[in-house]
Amino acid sequence: MISQALEHINWLHVLVAALAYFSLGAIWYSPVMFAKQWTEMHGIKMDSNDPNAKKGMGMMMFFCLVFVFIQTACLAGLMALLPAMSVLGGVKLGIIIGLCFSSTAICIGYLYTKKPIGLYFIDSGYQTVGLAIAGLILAVWH
């Protein structure tokens, strides 16, 4: 059954959906939305004078894109297993996965590291909205 789902995945659609999801992060974690709150709650000092502040950023962004691609590919695989996925169904599935898997995993980690609840809402919100957007894009092309 899983191999059948993989056979029906259009990888170009997965890539486009993953890029949209990843691009949401550029907006979500920008000064326009949650950058200030996110950096404060994590205790990150964004000092432009520190040469190490942005060290390794390229690799971090690359691996974030890889992980978003994996999430999007799994969403596409689930959609391939479900009968006749509507556009609204794709959005709903993205939201369900975001809330039930991504958000709960983030919450467990934040409980043990005693992170502020606001940080949980920022990070799980990004995951849930990103998966909803990916579900929308995949459903449109399904």
Which one, of 72, 79, 69, 70, lies nearest residue 142 by Cα?
A: 79
Does residue 37 lie in a domain region? yes
Residue 55 maps to a domain? no
- pLDDT string in tens for the chain (142-residue length): 667 667 778 999 999 999 999 999 999 999 999 999 999 998 887 766 767 767 788 999 999 999 999 999 999 999 988 877 899 999 999 999 999 999 999 999 999 999 999 999 999 999 999 999 999 999 998 7
Domain contains 40:
yes
* pTM, entire model: 0.90
Q: Evaluate whether residue 123 is within a structural domain.
A: yes
Which range marks the domain in which residue 116 is found? 2-44+72-141
* Count of structural domains within the chain: 1
Assigned domain for 89 exists: yes
- 65/57 Cα distance (integer angstroms): 12
